[in-house]
Amino acid sequence: MMLEKLQNQGYQVEVLSHARAILEVDFPEVEIELTEVLEGFRIPVAELIAGGGGEAKGTQRLRKALTDKQWPKFHFNVERKINGKILESQSHEVDHVREFTSGRVALEIEWNNKDPFFDRDLENYKRLHADGAISVGIIITRGTSLHENMKSIVGKFLDTNDIETLDDLTQWGYEPTSRQRATISGLVNRDKDPLSFREAFCRKFVSDKFGEATTHWRKLEDRVHRGVGNPCPLLLVGLPENVVEFD
């Protein structure tokens, strides 16, 4: 079973287009290194709440751990020529690539982008594989348990820290917009079936930040099952709910 130790910890793993045989025979180090990086990966729950732009801190830590194991960012430049004349030139950037004597393995982390990023990644893998630039493509994203239980995770955070108003969240780096304040207030104060602050905040926050149109396991699975990225061998990894750490 590919990445058995991680699967026993709740990680989702799917292997497509003979990727298992390729990895086990030609790139056995990949399974070892991914296991070492992911088995101790944790995201403090407060980081899910904290605002600010840029890449999530958990993703940054994961990228650093991969880079430390010789999975750096990589630029592919592919040119097609006839008699020395360039007819076509394409550039592909992949977040992490591991080079071996027998080939390359590419890896992308899609923690919380818009879901069309999956199309970009899979089509890049398809082209790079067809050109002989990579042997296997890997995608790491939010797994089903993490995505579907995000409201309960956020609710537990509110309960644990006695958060009962939006102002209570400022110390955690969350600064709601005027639109978010208005929506939450409207849900709490409506005449018919008003919600508690906890219910209203969890609904609005998760919808805005981790909604259905973001990158998560089902969106990735839908694409690969209808053939996007085929025939590039693929390894898909879904982060489970238990990577979120409560202190």
What is the pTM (predicted TM-score) of this model? 0.93
How many whole angstroms separate alpha carbon 116 and alpha carbon 127? 17
Architecture of domain 4-148+216-245: 3-Layer(aba) Sandwich (3.40)
DSSP state for residue 168 in the 8-state scheme: G
Mode of pairing for the β-strands spanning 12-16 and 43-44: unpaired
pLDDT at 194: 95
Decide: 73 and 93 in contact? Cβ < 8 Å.
yes
Judge whether 237 and 146 are in contact, CB under 8 Å: no
Quick one: 52 exposed, middle or buried, by C-beta within 10 A (0-12, 13-18, 19+)?
exposed
- Cβ atoms of 238 and 143 within 8 Å: the answer is yes
* Structural domain boundaries in the chain: 4-148+216-245, 152-208
> What does the pLDDT read at residue 247?
76
As given in the structure block, the two tokens for residue 39 are 């088995």
Q: What is the DSSP letter of 54?
A: S
Quote the pLDDT of residue 52: 59
**What pLDDT tens digit does each residue of the chain (247 aa) get?**
899 999 999 999 999 999 999 999 999 999 999 999 999 999 999 999 886 556 789 999 999 999 999 999 998 877 676 766 666 667 778 999 999 999 999 999 999 999 999 999 999 999 999 999 999 999 999 999 999 999 999 999 999 999 999 999 888 888 888 999 999 999 999 999 999 999 999 999 999 999 999 999 999 999 999 999 999 999 999 999 999 999 7
Give buried/exposed letters for 143-156 (b at 16+ CB in 10 A, else e).
bbbbbebbbebbbe
Give the pair of three-digit tokens for residue 233. Answer: 């061998």
Secondary structure E strands in 51-117: 74-82, 85-94, 96-100, 103-110
